[in-house]
Amino acid sequence: MTNPLDIQVKIEEEHIFFVKEYPFVHSSVFRSSIIYASEINDVCFNTFPYSLIINNNEILFLENSHRIREELISFAKRNNLPMIDRDDIWYLLTTPFLDTKFEAGERTEIASKLQRYFTKGEVRSTRWKIGTVLWRNLFFGQEWAYLGQFDYLRLKLLLSQSDYWWSMRIALRSYNH
């Protein structure tokens, strides 16, 4: 399997090609390696790595680099694709697992954003579910700035098809909202 941190893409006129096998076996592009502009709903630069929503139901991650950002902006403009900075739900959910102390105002803002998409009970149960995966960060990874959906997917030791698509439904709450 490809190292999930080593996503490499080639951006063409009307499609994006994954140079190496996409790192998540349950993805719709795992075997095909090509995403056509007509499948892309939007491009997002506020996730890490950068991401695309395809077919209104899946987020795909691309490499993060200045070169890719510039090529992706050109690609999106050329193909009339929206470039959206939406609430990154996975970041909001994973803040308790970062090695960072948040001020009261920041915690209130995070809780307020989450309430747009979840009940308090859903936030609690989702964090409980992802906790066994993301607590490893506090003990081994020491990530202090950002954890997101990509991190959940790459850190989940036995990522099942249902886990993969569950993570998509969670992430897309800000898209479908």
> Residues 7-46: pLDDT tens digits?
899 999 999 999 988 999 999 999 889 999 999 999 999 8
Q: What is the pLDDT of residues 59-74, one digit of tens each?
A: 999 988 888 999 999 9
Task: Give the tens place of pLDDT for each residue, 84-143.
Answer: 988 999 999 999 888 778 889 999 999 999 999 999 999 999 999 998 888 766 666 565
The overall pTM is greater than 0.85:
yes
Measured over the CA atoms of residue 109, residue 114, residue 119 and residue 125, the dihedral's sign is negative
Q: Rounded to whole angstroms, what are the CA distances from 162 to 81, 165, 168?
A: 29, 5, 10
Least confident piece of the model among 12-21, 53-62, 168-177: 168-177
The half-sphere exposure of 16 on its side-chain side, counting CA atoms within 13 A, is 31
CB 117 within 8 A of CB 89: yes
| Side-chain-side CA neighbours of residue 83 (13 Å) | 14
Supply the pLDDT for residue 141: 58
The pLDDT mean for the chain works out to: 89
The 10 Å Cβ neighbour count of residue 50 is 21
Share of the chain above pLDDT 70, in %: 91
